[in-house]
């Protein structure tokens, strides 16, 4: 039950993109096509969950143990960068087809602030490992849901005649705002 609440809250109520504003760059950058958005969402889900588990372990058994938690930011960003590289190498060897599908998105994920944001917020909130893993996965799914919905909207938008000054990002941002307004309707569920 507790986990169910975490999942619903992370996907709908506190959606990472539309309520917490993490991972906006890829949200605006690669949401032009539905297929790329889906690929990116898959890669992000995988990396966020893995990175949160690894950084949680490093925080608990290295940083907190030796009392050097002020190094958190530096340690986490290096771990995430290394992890993304490793995932890329392993995937290339083990599953070339999946690598083909996700390949180009992986290097971009290092600079996705959602990864560092989730990793930092679970240790700041003192979540136990199980809860942190579920929270990370659910948050990542929430990111994917918003991303795929938004890409669908933008594909429809691309064919429409939009005033010149609104073309491209401005109209995308306003669309995202209306979507966030819709997600605001979930406020209160699960609390």
Partner 1 sequence: MSSKMHFLTDGLVKNNPTFVLVLGMCPTLATTTSAMNGLEMGLATMFVLILSNIVISLIAPVVPDKVHIPVYIVVIATFVTLLELLMKAYVPDIYATLGLFIPLIVVNCIVLGRAEAFANKNGIGASALDGVGVGLGFTLSLTVIGLVRELLGSGSAFGYKLLPGDGILAFVLAPGAFIVIGYLMVLFNKYLKK
- Which x/- pattern over 11-40 shows residues binding partner 1 (rule: CB under 8 A)? -------xxxxxxxx--x------------
Q: How far apart are alpha carbons 58 and 64 in whole angstroms?
A: 9
Q: Out of 8, 53, 54, 81, name the contact with partner 1 by CB under 8 A.
A: 81
Q: Show Cβ contacts of residue 115 under 8 Å, excluding neighbours closer than 6 positions.
A: 23, 44, 47, 48, 51, 80, 109
Token pair, residue 75, equals 């340690």
State the nearest-atom distance from the C-beta of 22 to partner 1, in Å: 6
The DSSP code for 60 is I
Ramachandran quadrant class, 187 (left: phi over 0; alpha: psi -120 to 50; beta: rest): beta
Q: Out of 44, 87, 91, 120, name the contact with partner 1 by CB under 8 A.
A: 120
Q: How far apart are alpha carbons 92 and 10 in whole angstroms?
A: 31
Q: Out of 53, 58, 101, 171, name the contact with partner 1 by CB under 8 A.
A: 171
State the nearest-atom distance from the C-beta of 54 to partner 1, in Å: 17
The binding site for partner 1 (CB under 8 A) comprises 18-25, 28, 70-74, 77-78, 81, 110-113, 116-117, 120-121, 124, 164-166, 169-174, 176-178, 180-181, 183-184
């Amino acid at each position: 039950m507790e986990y169910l609440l975490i999942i619903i809250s992370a996907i709908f109520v506190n959606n990472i993109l539309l309520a917490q504003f993490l991972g906006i760059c890829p949200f605006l950058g690669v949401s032009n096509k539905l297929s790329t958005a889906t690929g990116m969402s898959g890669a992000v889900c995988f990396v966020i969950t893995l990175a949160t588990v690894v950084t949680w372990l490093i925080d608990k058994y290295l940083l907190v143990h030796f009392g050097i938690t002020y190094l958190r930011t530096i340690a986490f960003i290096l771990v995430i960068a290394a992890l993304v590289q490793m995932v890329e190498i392993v995937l290339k060897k083990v599953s070339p087809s999946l690598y083909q599908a996700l390949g180009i998105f992986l290097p971009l994920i290092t600079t996705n602030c959602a990864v560092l944001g989730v990793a930092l917020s679970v240790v700041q909130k003192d979540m136990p490992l199980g809860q942190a893993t579920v929270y990370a996965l659910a948050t990542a799914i929430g990111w994917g849901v918003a991303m795929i919905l938004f890409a669908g909207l933008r594909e429809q938008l691309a064919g429409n005649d939009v005033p010149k000054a609104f073309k491209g990002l401005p109209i995308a941002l306003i669309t995202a705002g209306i979507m966030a307004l819709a997600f605001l309707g979930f406020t209160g569920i699960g609390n």
